[in-house]
Structure 1
């Protein structure tokens, strides 16, 4: 990766190699609930076809808002996935996480019989979220205006960000580590590294990890409008998300969840399950600079990517694909830009906040599996600071991925980079 001297004064030396006997981690199940559907594999197919999930907001009246577009989930079947009792009271973020998590298990071949054979004390769940139960919070604020007696007993529990992990663990009977991580839009990537750490240390053999958010409600959209973060290209919603394009004017809000099943390699082999990819390692850094803006020189982002390479023992030259954070904001896109083959899933499904990293991990792993990477939409007038030749164009492309990097960066200067690679079977 090309890095300027101002961004990184010295090269990091590759210091780590996989030790003999070190526990390795593979991805064996994929689950997704997105604006493009609630099946991880069909989600990737839609990405390859350049289908966009962005349109006019239909969930509430936003006619007075300067931003009236988003990537909403218009419909979702929960039959057989969530109990009616939970579905009636739960926030959208919780519903999305439960459906995506259970579909990841099905995808991994963990049937009821297989589940009964697992040592559930060695199975854990970490689902991150940026905002948690924002709709439940709003409902509570409205109820208290009438009377404290109108407050729902679910107001506190279902507004908490840990509840997706907790309820999923309860449904499965998984008694290993279960908690949530909140690092804004980097929540999913922070979750995967923590989940991987539990497996490496020997705490667990299986971890469900992911992220979920559902804040396309009036206060969610209005709050980001107040931050000057959202695109206002209301007249042409499908053109609104345009990472690296000179005419970008902010990101488009999305919603949904991504959940992946991580498994210790020998445990996966013993089950005889399909292996999608291997997780090599990753890194977390902080800009320590500003509550919303990235560091002007991108120091934290570059350091994060470089440290991920150093920790994994991967040479820069072996990383030939990046699924970029690239939110379609003026500063964010350019600070991450590197001289590699890059695309942005957000150009098709908007920004899923705490769920973005997990949904993008699904896209990255499917790219490794299939050899196809999805297009960048709306890259019609590339920013003068980028070389469009290293960015994926308007059509899907063939790519034999050696090592893929998936980046997520969040408000507060939270940076995260994860390295995935094809599983070679040795």
Structure 2
């Protein structure tokens, strides 16, 4: 069968550097860090006392307070970014077949704050018997954001959540892309949300030695590819893309940000939390995405890397890029926007896909901030254009976005400039 073409017609973002897409993009291009002292809880006794928190989020812009209380913060972020993306898409829902509009929206962790609060309440008052909020389970589970979005709009198409740690929302985009090009839906709301800046979230990642402990310099802590990097910075928020079948989009006169060219999936099959030192899974996922898109390495202009600012991960990804792209690797722009947003875990793929799409639309590559000094490891070749510290203007015809998750899950999406 002939596969249908898929385009992006709407975007929504809530991030530590902006609570909508225009603000997010402006701060991204200007190299603004979203890091600061943790305010969600008292972190005094924690090894890491800072994170990239969302600032000034007002859920009542999107939901009545009574409804919001039935949702964990991650679901509130999901509903908010879906609202922005659906509005941005210009879909006339009164004249759409809602059976042909789906939602694939994931979370790597889900309602961890709800879980912590309910369990703490139980153990504090257990002598009175078990007393749990009736919304405890639906607030906690990681599929509920997709359900809540479909309920909000009456979308009856394919509806489920992806969960693959930090690759979660790229998996959601890949699944949405595949279902639309197979003709299973006209439109799919895809993306991810996360709100794991909690005692359990920060404490758990601290116990694994995964987080930066640069408490004296939060804004400079996420420093991908710098020798002094010491772990990632936790972020939160959400990202949403409206994926749409091309002819459906054209028929309604939709604006088109970019075309989804292809997607790749792979597994490291190596370690619970560490990427393969030789980047085997990373190489495979990028090659799979290029093959799916029927593109050559030379067709890519920009790579938004996973680039978490961990000692091993940055090395293995840089090595994989050199091996996959060969000499063309030195003609690419490469950047890690996590240097500004922190690591949004299950929402990272959607937010970084938005950054990649806007790089195509605006002809600007956002920077990798906080670079100070090179690593002596030979696998990080500083002849690569890692877009250090300042955005660069260039025509971006195609961009590739990498996401790698604990468990060895790898997902990659390729977007390209739309042409008839």
**Interval containing the TM-score (normalised by the shorter chain):** over 0.9
Counterpart selection for 2:417 from 415, 422, 425: 422
Counterpart selection for 1:31 from 12, 20, 24: 12
SS in structure 2 of the partner of residue 151 of structure 1: coil
CA–CA separation in structure 1 for the residues paired with 2:388 and 2:204: 33
CA–CA separation in structure 2 for the residues paired with 1:297 and 1:396: 29
1:374 aligns with: 366
Deviation string, structure 1 residues 22-49 (Cα, Å, up to 9, x no partner): 3100000000011112111220111001
Counterpart selection for 1:120 from 86, 98, 121: 98
TM-score (structure 2 length as normaliser): 0.94
Give 1:80 deviation, angstroms. Answer: 3.8
CA–CA separation in structure 1 for the residues paired with 2:388 and 2:337: 13
Give matches, 1:152-167, under 5 Å. Answer: 152-167=133-148
SS in structure 2 of the partner of residue 388 of structure 1: coil
Residue 209, structure 1, aligned to residue 190, structure 2: yes
Give matches, 1:160-175, under 5 Å. Answer: 160-175=141-156
Higher mean Cα deviation, 119-128 or 78-87?
78-87
Unaligned runs of 5+ in 1: 1-18
SS in structure 1 of the partner of residue 136 of structure 2: coil
2:381 aligns with: 387
Give 1:348 deviation, angstroms. Answer: 0.2
1:70 aligns with: 51
Give matches, 1:334-345, under 5 Å. Answer: 334-337=315-318, 338=321, 339=329, 340-345=332-337
Give 1:75 deviation, angstroms. Answer: 1.5
Root mean square deviation of aligned Cα = 1.1
Deviation string, structure 1 residues 360-382 (Cα, Å, up to 9, x no partner): 01111111000011111111112
Q: Is the 8 A contact 2:12 2:239 kept in 1?
A: yes
Q: 1:57 to 1:80 in 2, by over 3 A?
A: closer
2:254 aligns with: 273
SS in structure 2 of the partner of residue 175 of structure 1: coil
Residue 365, structure 1, aligned to residue 360, structure 2: no
Q: Is the 8 A contact 2:100 2:157 kept in 1?
A: yes
TM-score (structure 1 length as normaliser): 0.93
SS in structure 1 of the partner of residue 31 of structure 2: coil
Give 1:149 deviation, angstroms. Answer: 4.0
Unaligned runs of 5+ in 2: 322-328
Give 1:82 deviation, angstroms. Answer: 1.5
Counterpart selection for 1:134 from 105, 112, 123: 112
1:16 aligns with: none
Q: Is the 8 A contact 2:10 2:88 kept in 1?
A: yes
Q: Is the 8 A contact 2:364 2:393 kept in 1?
A: yes
Residue 245, structure 1, aligned to residue 240, structure 2: no
Counterpart selection for 1:347 from 321, 339, 350: 339
How many residues end up aligned between the 2 structures? Answer: 403
SS in structure 2 of the partner of residue 89 of structure 1: coil
1:261 aligns with: 242
